[in-house]
Chain A
Amino acid sequence: MIRVRGMRKSYRTGKLVNEVLRGVDFEVDHGELVSIVGPSGSGKSTLLHAVGGLDRDYEGSIEVDGRDLRSLSDDALSDYRNRSVGFVFQSFYLLPHLTVLENVALPAVFTRGTQRLGDAAATARAREVLEQVELGARTDSTPTMLSGGQRQRVAIARALFNRPTLMLCDEPTGNLDSKMGAQILALFHALNRDAHITVMIVTHDSRISAATPRTLRVEDGALHDERRELGPPVPSAAVVPAAEAP
């Protein structure tokens, strides 16, 4: 469970201080699919980064499964990101000099302790998640050889590699056409529905927010919580095996 209390965040540009979040409070339960919307610069991504432990420079508190993220050391926060969070960004951020397989297995390089996978196990796991996103045949390709939608699916596979409980997506369809965007959205729905992964999606796209049962609207530093009843589930192009379920 994610619990955010009194979160404030401001950016300073020279002498100008822009307070983007002014004491927001919200909670997200396990297995929820939540979209975060709002105008540019309203603090959507800031909120997402803070929940994902990428940013500790804020006021207030963020608890994830009872852990106050600000109280964690930098190394502990890295481990939290490595084991519990999967990030998907608008620009994919794949490493261009690594193959698809190496990109997907990259989190294994930074995993410590007993959860660390050996080379063979990491490769097997990377192949497994690539199959899930229907890119099992492109393991040896480099990112430059893929389309935008394929790259985003590689990024999703990388996010899934360590079996995260929380998936944070920052404008994941921003660089994709509408058809490809719909496929990616369907993939998130499937992951949320079948693997019970909590998914938070920052988006400008009203079609995406309309397709999520809950939307957090960030406006003028405040947060408005909107819930809606959805129709039948969005069809998924991907198959998420039952084994993925926690």
Chain B
Amino acid sequence: MSGLRRVIAADLQRSRSHFLLASIGIVVGIATFTFFIALSQGVRAVVLGRIFPLDQLEVVPKSLDIAIGPLAIGTSTLGGDVIDDARVRQINALPGVETVYPKMRLTVPAIALGGESLLGADLRSEIVADGIEPALVAADVGAGFEFRDFDAEPGTPKACTTDDECGERRYCGAPAGTRLERKSRNDDTGRVPEGTATVCRDYVPVLASEHVVELYNGALRRAHGFPKLVPDSVLGFTFELVIGSSMVGASNKGHLVRERAMLVGFSRKAIALGLTIPLGYVRRLNVDFGQPEDAQRYHSVVVMVPNKNDVAAVAKGVSDLNLVVADTGAEQAALLIAIFTLIFALVSAVIVGIAAVNIMHVFFMLVYERQHEIGIMRAIGARRGDITRIIMGEAASLGFVSGLAGVALAFGASFGFDWISQTYVPDFPYKPETYFEFPWWLLLAALAFAVSFCILGAFLPARRAARMEPAAVLSGH
């Protein structure tokens, strides 16, 4: 250890009770700073990473609706709010865009039936669904499952009479696209046309958003007394889709299509509240219940923008194509988090600032107490700079140790906070295991913050110490 560092260490040791008291403010301030910044980082990761991902934009057609009383009349009503293949290619060509995911909404009412094997009771629910290119969600499909348009594959299906004849994850049913006749407008079952032979079919693969599970676990299951679901364990769950039927009787179509579906994965690209299936199924159903041109009418495009700095430029490019970025709330959420972060950072800065003033008082007192020692050090050859370095060295050391203690306190508080949340707070949608993120730069910033404020606090006392006239302090003049 160099001589100056030894002097600093000895001074710190000697004045440890003074420094302990002086450091309390810094420790509390740094702990506050670290705790709240880590909290905002953690919340930001959940809100912007899972709820409102910032690296993907959902692009939709501009809606030119006019409100007439409670109704909006315009392009959305007239079916003008669609994007065709040419427009998808234009979006894909925008600088900063990595990939685009065209999505086609199922424009036919549909009902999902089933759930007894999972929940103990059958559920019947109106559903919304959209279709997406399977290749774009390949990474989200559960192990051992497939997400593709099985019905588009060539070949003659194998005839069957029972599910057992068809093998694992297949069933025996009417051929794909079989129109079922309704006995009445409210008939959900339908009747297979006479003479239709049953064949082995693959389940329609379904992806769901994590939002669905979060909402179910956080709210719905309590209302119905159902068990909590773990996303991975529900993969393979099967249910029935009745397309063309609705719980709103007036929306029922003249015929039905019944399909069996299987949950094969969870994806951020899946529709938030509904089901996402391979694009081919949706395209065929929309054409079946609508017009041939419906095969090229997409309702939105998910645009992946890996670099957040490109988001603004991509949004402008999209706007130039007469499209808009759907408002996901991400900007507002990011702004809100930034405001809270700023407020807490300011509160921390005020605490640390007040602590720095306290440190200044302590150092002024110490300089006064040690004036003879400073005088003798000057007498034996210490330069003014040496005296400054000794005082500043003590302040920096105090700041470093206080900063470490503050960070440790923040860590401890965050563990306590998480433990209380896990133990006592009921589940809610997107409840995280930890609310905190401690990136390396935050720890460095906390230490730098502590050291800087301590040095700032000791600046004037150090200057006074360095300017002491040794003859005056040694002779008492």
Give, as a whole number of angstroms, the nearest-CB distance from B265 to chain A: 66
Any chain A CB within 8 A of the CB of B475?
Answer: yes
Residue B382 at the chain A interface, CB threshold 8 Å: yes
Contact size range, B: 20 to 34
* Interface set, chain B 371-413, CB cutoff 8 A to A: 372-373, 375-386
Beyond A82-B381, A110-B380, whether A97 also contacts B13 by CB under 8 A is: yes
Q: Is the CB of B470 within 8 A of A107?
A: no
Q: Does B471 contact A (CB under 8 A)?
A: yes
Q: A95 — which chain B residues lie within 8 A by C-beta?
A: 10, 373, 376
The contact string, 1 if C-beta is below 8 Å from chain B, for chain A 66-91, is 00000000110011011100010101
Chain A 89-108 interface 0/1 with B at a Cβ cutoff of 8 Å (1 = within): 10101011110001001111
Instruction: Judge whether A139 is part of the interface by a CB distance below 8 angstroms.
Output: no
Cα distance A87–B376 when bound, in Å? 9
Give 13 CB contacts A-B under 8 Å: A45-B475, A49-B474, A49-B475, A55-B472, A79-B383, A83-B381, A87-B380, A89-B376, A93-B474, A107-B380, A107-B381, A110-B3, A119-B3
Asked if B346 is at the interface of the complex by the 8 Å CB criterion, the answer is no
Contacts of A98 in B (CB 8 A): 7, 10
A158 and B382 CA atoms in complex are apart in Å by: 14
Task: Assess the A106–B384 pair: CB atoms within 8 A.
Answer: no
Interface positions, chain B 1-54, Cβ under 8 Å from A, are: 2-4, 6-7, 10-11, 13-14
Interface of A is mostly: helix
Is the C-beta of B240 less than 8 angstroms from some C-beta in chain A?
no
B81 at the interface (CB under 8 A from A): no
How far apart are the CA atoms of A52 and B6 in the complex, in Å?
27
Q: Chain B residues near A146 (CB, 8 Å)? A: none
Answer whether residue A11 sits at the interface, using C-beta atoms and an 8 A cutoff: yes
Interfacial chain B residues near A107, Cβ < 8 Å: 380-381
The closest CB in chain B to the CB of A82 belongs to B381
Are B4 and A54 touching (Cβ within 8 A)?
A: no
Of the candidates B2, B10, B379, the one whose C-beta lies within 8 Å of that of A87 is B379
Supposing A91-B372, A97-B11, A98-B10 touch, asked if A54 and B380 sit within 8 A by C-beta, the answer is no
B58 at the interface (CB under 8 A from A): no
CA distance A122 to B380 in the complex (A): 15
Complex: A211 Cα to B382 Cα, angstroms:
33
A81-B381 contact given A49-B474, A93-B373, A97-B14, CB 8 Å threshold: yes
Residue of B nearest to A55 (CB): B471
Contact B379 A110 (CB under 8 A): no
Q: Give A155 to B4 CA distance when docked, in angstroms.
A: 20
Are A110 and B381 in contact (CB-based, < 8 A)? yes
Tell me the bound Cα distance from A119 to B6 in angstroms.
11
A236 within 8 A of B: no
- In the complex, chain B residues whose CB is within 8 Å of the CB of A170: 474-475
Known contacts A75-B383, A110-B383, A110-B386: A54-B470 contact under CB 8 Å: yes
Contact with B along A102-139 (1 / 0, CB 8 A): 10011111110000000100100000000000000000
Is B469 positioned at the interface, with any CB of A under 8 Å from its CB? yes
CB of A236 to closest CB in B, whole Å: 24
Query: In the complex, which residues of chain A have a beta carbon less than 8 angstroms from the beta carbon of B4?
Result: 109
- Top 10 nearest A-B pairs by Cβ distance? A82-B381, A109-B3, A55-B471, A93-B376, A110-B381, A97-B14, A49-B471, A54-B471, A78-B383, A110-B382
Residues of B within 8 A of A49 (CB): 470-471, 474-475
Q: Which B residue sits closest to A83, measured CB to CB?
A: B381
Shortest beta-carbon distance from B47 to chain A in Å: 53
Residues in B whose Cβ lies below 8 Å from that of A122: 3
> Which residues of A are found within 8 Å of B379, using beta-carbon distances?
52, 54, 81, 87, 93
Smallest Cβ-Cβ distance to A105: which chain B residue: B3
List B residues at the A interface (Cβ < 8 Å): 2-4, 6-7, 10-11, 13-14, 372-373, 375-386, 469-472, 474-475, 477
Cβ contact within 8 Å between B384 and A74? yes
Chain B contacts of A11 at CB under 8 A? 477
- Mask: chain A, 127-163; 1 = CB below 8 Å from B; 0 = not: 0000000000000000000000000000000110010
Set of chain B residues within 8 Å of A119, measured between Cβ atoms: 3
Residue of B nearest to A91 (CB): B372
Contact B376 A78 (CB under 8 A): no
Give the residues in chain A near B385, CB-CB below 8 Å.
75
Question: Is the CB–CB distance between A108 and B3 below 8 Å?
Answer: yes
* A98 and B13 alpha carbons, distance in the complex (Å): 11
Known: A55-B471, A110-B386. 15 other contacts (CB 8 A): A49-B470, A50-B471, A55-B469, A55-B472, A75-B383, A75-B384, A79-B381, A87-B376, A93-B372, A97-B11, A102-B10, A107-B380, A108-B3, A109-B6, A109-B7
Q: Are A82 and B471 in contact (CB under 8 A)?
A: no
Note all chain A residues with C-beta closer than 8 A to B375.
93
Residues in chain A near residue B377, CB distance under 8 A: 106, 110
B-side contacts of A81, CB under 8 Å: 378-381
Least CB distance, B49 to chain A, in whole angstroms: 53
Residues of chain A within 8 A of B386, CB atoms compared: 78, 109-110
Indicate whether A97 sits within 8 Å of B10 (C-beta atoms), given known contacts A87-B380, A110-B383, A158-B380.
yes
Residues of chain B lying within 8 A (CB to CB) of residue A109: 2-4, 6-7, 382, 386
Closest to A122 in B: B3
Closest to A54 in B: B471
How far does the alpha carbon of A209 sit from the alpha carbon of B373 in the complex, in Å? 29
B382: chain A residues within 8 A (beta carbon):
78, 109-110
B243 to chain A minimum Cβ distance, whole angstroms, is 86
Question: Are B383 and A74 touching (Cβ within 8 A)?
Answer: yes
A96 vs B376: C-alpha distance in the bound complex, in angstroms? 12
Tell me how far the C-beta of A77 lies from the nearest C-beta in chain B, rounded to whole angstroms.
Answer: 9
- Residues of A close to B376: CB separation below 8 A: 87, 89, 93, 95
| B378 adjacent to A54 (CB under 8 Å) | yes
Q: How far is the CA of A79 from the CA of B472 in the complex (A)?
A: 19
A52 to B470 alpha-carbon distance, docked (Å): 11
CB distance from B349 to the nearest CB of A (A): 34
Query: In the complex, what residues of B have CB within 8 A of residue A83's CB?
Result: 381
Q: Which residues of A contact B7 (CB under 8 A)?
A: 98, 106, 109
Q: How far is the CA of A168 from the CA of B381 in the complex (A)?
A: 14
Q: Is the CB of B381 within 8 A of A111?
A: yes
Query: Which of A50, A55, A57 has the largest count of B CB atoms less than 10 A from its CB?
Result: A55
CA distance A46 to B475 in the complex (A): 8
Determine how close the nearest CB of chain A comes to the CB of B168; give it in whole angstroms: 78
Q: Which residues of A contact B474 (CB under 8 A)?
A: 49, 54, 89, 93, 170
CA distance A122 to B6 in the complex (A): 14
**Please, which residues of chain A bring their CB within 8 A of the CB of B384?**
74-75, 78
Residue of B nearest to A79 (CB): B381
Return B363 CB to nearest CB of chain A, in Å.
Answer: 17
